Amino acid sequence: MKYLALAWLLLPTAASAYPGTLSMERSVKLIWEVRRTSAEIPVEIESAGEWSHISTWLQLTGGMTMDEPGTDLGSQLGLEWSLKLGVTPNQAPNYRDLAPLAFDGSLAMALRTFSWRRPYYGALIVLAGGELGAGGGHWWSDSARMTFFGGARLVAQSIDGASNIELTYILAPFEFSGRPELVANSRRVEHRAGITFGRGLLGVGAWVYGVVQSVRLTGGESRISADGFGFGTTLELRFD
């Protein structure tokens, strides 16, 4: 499953009257992403030994934090959610007939651990959550998939609130999923890193996806590499 970097919201919007605190408002984003992905595949599954395709994703994501004026930033918790639909070509059309559609949903806890107010508003946010997905044209999975993830995000916003930037890293260290007949076992770790720029209601971003995966085919003894790499560009419409 390819995940869009789902947890990347909670932008600082205004400083409070108390030193060391920062108010964070509720917000929602509509995100369109075009992603190119390629990965290795066992020749027993697809004779080409590699697959590559372009997928398109539409995502609705939002966040909410406690922003009491007297609450220290380091003790403020928030929640982030994400719903995503994608058009994803079949990774191995000669092996299985799969619908070219995907769904991902996630919920994460966000803890703001550090912040500053000059020369711009900023915060470091630690993320932890879970994600559930289905579809996606994956040759190594025949059921819904579930994973837990963790990561961090560095956010900054200009004093006038007109522009902002976010740097995000997410690690999904494992995945639970059913396997098709020829796949006995699969181990998968996914890294996601992104940078987004926003001004007003609009934003743009770039994301890199790295997958370290190995599979063992039914009846086989050794593991086979199925590592992958992806790059995506995003366009955002933000509703504060």
Q: What is the pTM of this model?
A: 0.84
Let me know: does 199 contact 238? Beta carbons within 8 Å.
Answer: no
Mean pLDDT by groups of 10 residues along the chain of 240 residues: 36 29 59 97 90 96 64 63 95 90 94 83 91 94 94 90 91 93 94 94 96 94 94 91
Burial (CB count <10 Å: 0-12, 13-18, 19+), residue 137: buried
pLDDT at residue 10, as a whole number: 35
- Pseudo-torsion of CA 113, 116, 117, 119, nearest 10°? -150
Two tokens, residue 132: 């559930």
Which residues make Cβ contacts (< 8 Å) with residue 13, sequence separation at least 6? 23, 24, 25, 121, 157, 161, 240
Which residues make Cβ contacts (< 8 Å) with residue 239, sequence separation at least 6? 27, 28, 29, 30, 201
Residue ranges of domains in the chain, CATH in brackets: 12-239 (2.40.128.100)
- Pseudo-torsion of CA 50, 51, 52, 54, nearest 10°? -170
Q: Which of 13, 5, 3, 7 is nearest to 111 (CA)?
A: 7
Instruction: Give the C-alpha separation, 180 to 138, whole Å.
Output: 10
Instruction: Give the C-alpha separation, 234 to 71, whole Å.
Output: 34
Q: Which of 193, 146, 194 is nearest to 174 (CA)?
A: 146
Instruction: Give the C-alpha separation, 80 to 88, whole Å.
Output: 25
